[in-house]
């Protein structure tokens, strides 16, 4: 029988409601780290996570807590990301827990991702403990939020814990509640081993490490472990726990959370969702796995310096080791040369990968505008997945085009219902439902084309609701639509990396706005540059970048030398993210212009 003194839990919350801060307080209170060792927000270990204040990869930590009943409990906290792109990772960590703290901001109330995460927790049969956070704020309205939790989620919130992760209010109460409310794990120590891999990570010394929740049995150094999906076997070299630093222990047994290392060369052999068993006494059945993550947004990544191609590939491979949801394959563009088409879970995921490539791997990249996957049926009846607009077959070979649609849930103060409906109308949305989550807040459900969300939906939603709306969405399938491809010609030459796919009703408007925008972005050269947007071979808009009249440096002629140097440096820096296409230089901004034209 698994230890009655283990509690496995995670924290679910909408972004910024205080999940990481609360985790820090729990770690601090239980003394896992001394105050001096305590860095702000221990769980967000990646630099980028700390900077952006978001959790990207989930992490785990073991806390030791002496409860009021006098017993010492082992609490395993598994952190979850809060952003919509990473819902998939949330479901992984929840599968390793018996309980969850539901953190809701006492000012903001329930938001879209609060709901999405609660539903995931309910699906996993977790005991949910509501915590109303930030009660130290003067504008906090805990009673209102309590009511929202009851009305919207249907959870009894009468004994919700009132907390302030910032000042430490309620921390002890939370720990006590975890001990009394979250059930201990069920598994049997003496049954054949079953451990669920909920994450994996590559370590240069230990090889691929599996982060596991042991559900049944035991595992220790020397165990011959077997991956149930592939049958591959490895000898365990180390097992350990997160304190949060990795600490080696004798063994891990039913109910516990920790890591297993086995000098595994390839991270592909430690597949998240797989079950590890003991080769000598294997379990009959694996644990239920998870839904596989599917990339939703694609873009091209090209090195500015052609020589960097191999380095870009190596860097993508390294990132992929710790992030299986990043996919990539080589791609060639007539305009940009050799690069990669990369798939991401969403826009934030895409930005994060781009930023890591540039910062951690010091690459200088051109990124093309993001696209979704279109399903194109050609006249031969074949269905093609098109993730790059440039690869769309010629119009006369297309029978139908279908685009991905999502079910979007928007929570917003009632005053903004009008503007949101208007926005969703413009974005080709289909109304599905609306209800009140409290007297003044409304939940709207729409079906929307994913491409419209990728386009500028977030920005529009924010600006039209003064930042008060929150959004969550999930893929809902494919729908046929009247779509066309717009190509861009610079100086008469097709720039394939600027092509995009758009609904016919918006094509003229976007085609025209794009050339206007490009005219402002493409630097003047010694000659005139016509810019055209075309559908098929029909020109729908045209602008011209005038030729430069004088050498820029001529202005400084005879001027002081430092000013001249500055100007040269400025030109050089500006050049960094430019790509020579034919005899025209195109800056990075041009490839994103299509996203910023309405
Ligand atoms: P997460 O996105 O859910 O992980 O949220 P964070 O823990 O990063 O917190 C978001 C912001 O809210 C940070 O600026 C925190 O300092 C602040 N915050 C968190 N908890 C509290 C609290 O109890 N009171 C106040 N006033 N601010 C808080
Ligand atoms: Mg956080």
- The atom of ligand 1 lying closest to the CA of 164 is 23
Cα distance between residue 507 and residue 504, in whole Å: 5
In the predicted model, what is the mean pLDDT of residues 32-56?
A: 51
Model confidence at 21: pLDDT above 50: yes
Model confidence at 366: pLDDT above 90: no
Token output for 432: 């599905």
Q: Can you give the pLDDT at residue 41?
A: 46
Cα distance between residue 33 and residue 43, in whole Å: 12
In the predicted model, what is the mean pLDDT of residues 534-560?
A: 74
Q: Binding site annotation covers 18?
A: yes
Q: Which residue has the higher pLDDT, 19 or 80?
A: 19
Enter the pTM of the model: 0.73
Q: With a 6 A CB cut-off, is 134 part of the ligand 1 pocket?
A: yes
Model confidence at 550: pLDDT above 70: no
Model confidence at 145: pLDDT above 80: yes
Token output for 569: 């440096």
pLDDT in tens, 46-94: 555 555 544 445 468 889 999 999 999 999 998 776 565 666 666 766 7
Going by C-beta distance under 8 Å and a sequence separation of 6 or more, which residues neighbour residue 53?
16, 20, 44
In the predicted model, what is the mean pLDDT of residues 266-273?
A: 80
Residue 94: Cβ within 10 Å count: 26
8 A C-beta contact, residue 183 and residue 98: yes
- Across the chain, mean pLDDT equals 86
Going by C-beta distance under 8 Å and a sequence separation of 6 or more, which residues neighbour residue 577?
304, 364, 365, 366, 587, 588
DSSP 230-254: T--EEE--EEEEESSSEEEESEEET
| Cα 219–Cα 223–Cα 224 angle in degrees, nearest 5 | 125
Which stretches does DSSP call E strand in 361-496? Answer: 365-367, 374-378, 383-386, 398-413, 430-436, 441-449, 470-480, 483-490, 493-494
Token output for 64: 């030791």
Model confidence at 147: pLDDT above 50: yes
Cα distance between residue 223 and residue 276, in whole Å: 11
Cα distance between residue 522 and residue 221, in whole Å: 61
Q: Can you give the pLDDT at residue 54?
A: 47
Q: Can you give the pLDDT at residue 360?
A: 84
On whether ipTM exceeds 0.95, the answer is yes
8 A C-beta contact, residue 132 and residue 146: yes
Q: With a 6 A CB cut-off, is 133 part of the ligand 1 pocket?
A: yes
- The atom of ligand 1 lying closest to the CA of 24 is 7
Distance 17 CA to ligand 1 centre (A): 6
Q: Can you give the pLDDT at residue 409?
A: 92
pLDDT in tens, 239-254: 999 877 788 999 999 9
Residue from 12, 13, 14, 16 to probe ligand 1 pocket by mutation (most atoms less than 8 Å from CB): 16
Q: Binding site annotation covers 564?
A: no
8 A C-beta contact, residue 2 and residue 254: yes
Q: Binding site annotation covers 133?
A: yes
Q: Tell me the HSE value of 340 on the side-chain side, using a 13 A CA sphere.
A: 21
Q: Can you give the pLDDT at residue 302?
A: 92
Q: Can you give the pLDDT at residue 430?
A: 97
pLDDT in tens, 278-312: 999 999 988 876 666 678 899 999 998 889 999 99
Q: Binding site annotation covers 78?
A: no
């Amino acid at each position: 029988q698994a230890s009655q003194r283990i509690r496995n839990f995670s924290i679910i919350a909408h972004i910024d409601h205080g999940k990481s801060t609360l985790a820090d307080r729990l770690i601090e209170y239980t003394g896992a780290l001394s105050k001096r060792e305590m860095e702000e927000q221990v769980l967000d270990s990646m630099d980028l996570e700390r900077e952006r204040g978001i959790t990207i990869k989930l992490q785990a930590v073991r806390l030791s807590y002496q409860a009021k009943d006098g017993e010492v409990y082992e609490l395993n906290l598994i952190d979850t990301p809060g952003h919509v792109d990473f819902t998939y990772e949330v479901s992984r960590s929840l599968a390793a827990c018996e309980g969850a703290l539901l953190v809701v901001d006492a000012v903001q109330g329930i938001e879209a991702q609060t709901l999405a995460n609660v539903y995931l927790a309910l699906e996993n049969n977790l005991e949910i403990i509501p915590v109303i956070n930030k009660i130290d704020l003067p504008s906090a309205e805990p009673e209102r939020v309590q009511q929202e939790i009851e009305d919207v989620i249907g959870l009894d919130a009468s004994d919700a814990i009132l907390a302030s992760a910032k000042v430490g209010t309620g921390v002890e109460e939370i720990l006590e509640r975890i001990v009394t409310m979250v059930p201990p794990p069920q598994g049997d120590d003496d049954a054949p081993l079953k451990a669920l891999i909920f994450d994996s990570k590559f370590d240069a010394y230990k090889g691929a490490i599996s982060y596991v929740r042991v559900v049944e049995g035991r595992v220790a150094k020397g165990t011959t472990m077997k991956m149930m999906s592939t049958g591959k076997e490895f000898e365990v070299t180390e097992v350990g726990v997160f304190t949060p630093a990795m600490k080696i222990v004798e063994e891990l047994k039913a109910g516990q959370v920790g890591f297993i290392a086995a000098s595994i060369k390839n991270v592909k052999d430690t597949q998240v969702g797989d079950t590890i068993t003991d080769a000598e006494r294997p379990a009959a059945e694996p644990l239920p796995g998870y839904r596989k993550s599917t990339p939703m947004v694609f873009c091209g990544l090209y090195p500015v310096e052609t020589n960097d191609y191999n380095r870009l590939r190596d860097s993508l491979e390294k990132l992929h080791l710790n992030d299986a949801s990043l996919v990539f394959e080589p791609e060639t563009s007539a305009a940009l040369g050799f690069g990669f088409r990369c798939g991401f879970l969403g826009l934030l995921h895409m930005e994060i990968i781009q930023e890591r490539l540039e910062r951690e791997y010091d690459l200088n990249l051109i990124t093309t505008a993001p696209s979704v996957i279109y399903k194109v049926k050609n006249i031969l009846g074949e269905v093609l997945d098109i993730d790059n607009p440039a690869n769309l077959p010629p119009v006369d070979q297309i029978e139908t085009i279908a685009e991905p649609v999502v079910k979007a849930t928007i929570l917003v103060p009632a005053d903004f219902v009008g503007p949101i409906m208007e926005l969703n109308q413009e974005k080709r949305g289909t109304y599905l439902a609306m209800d009140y989550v409290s007297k003044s807040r409304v939940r709207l459900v729409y079906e929307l084309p994913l491409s419209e969300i990728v386009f500028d939906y977030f920005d529009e939603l924010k600006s039209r609701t003064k930042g008060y709306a929150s959004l969550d969405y999930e893929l809902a399938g494919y729908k046929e639509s009247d779509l066309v491809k717009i190509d861009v010609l610079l100086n008469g030459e097709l720039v394939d990396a600027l092509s995009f796919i758009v609904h016919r009703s918006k094509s003229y408007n976007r085609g025209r706005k794009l050339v206007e925008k490009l005219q402002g972005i493409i630097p003047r050269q010694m000659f005139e540059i016509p810019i055209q947007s075309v559908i098929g071979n029909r020109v729908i808009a045209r602008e011209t970048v005038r030729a430069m009249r004088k050498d820029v440096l001529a202005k400084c002629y005879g001027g002081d030398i430092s000013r001249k140097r500055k100007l040269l440096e400025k030109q050089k820096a500006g050049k960094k993210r430019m790509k020579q296409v034919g005899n025209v230089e195109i800056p990075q901004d041009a490839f994103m212009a299509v996203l910023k034209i309405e």
